Structure 1
Amino acid sequence: MVTVIDFVVQLLVSLVDLVGIFIFEILLGVDPITAVSFLVGAGLTTATIVYGAYLALGALVNHLTGLGSSARDSAPDRTAR
């Protein structure tokens, strides 16, 4: 069974391997267009994950504390004319 520590260690090792693969096999091994497309894809993926995490965290904070909620606590009083 995989533990959380094993997972984090494997994740960090994979990250280091990814940087090595990018530098030695993509950036230095092929044309610059491939390197640019790799960087653009990585940037878009990272931005999407960060934005989704930001929205999820905001929704969690809103749910737990009510901060940032746009709904009013009570309906406005309407008087008959």
Structure 2
Amino acid sequence: MVTVIDFVVQLLTSIVGLVDIFLTDVVLGVDPITAISFLVGAGLTTFAVGFFGYLVLGALVNLLTGLGSSARESTH
């Protein structure tokens, strides 16, 4: 059975290996135009995911607390 510590160690080792493969094979192993287009795509994707996460977080805060609610209150 895998423990949480073993999982975290394997995850961190995999991340380091992924960065190494990315730098040696993707960025340094291709022409500059391909590397730039890859980095631009990665930046756009990161921005889109971050912006969507920001919207989801705002919706959750609104749902749980009512802060930032844009609905008009009824005047009874």
Q: Into which bin does the TM-score normalised by the smaller protein fall?
A: 0.7 to 0.9
Structure of greater Rg: 1
How many Å apart are 1:10 and its aligned residue? 4.9
Distance 1:53 1:2 in 2: 31
Relative to the length of structure 2, the TM-score reads 0.75
CA deviation vs aligned residue, 1:1-60 (integer Å, no higher than 9, x gap) = 877763x55554443233212211122222111111211121111111111110000000
Normalised TM-score (structure 1): 0.71
* C-alpha separation in 2, matches of 1:52 and 1:3: 33
Any runs of at least 4 consecutive aligned residues in structure 1 with deviations exceeding 2 A, and if so which?
A: 1-6, 8-18
* Structure with more helix by fraction: 2
Paired amino acid for 1:43: G
Q: Which runs of 5+ in 2 are unaligned?
A: none
Q: What is the root-mean-square deviation of aligned Cα atoms in Å?
A: 2.4
Instruction: Give the percent of matched residue pairs that are identical in Structure 1 and Structure 2.
Output: 69
Distance 1:58 1:11, change over 3 A: farther
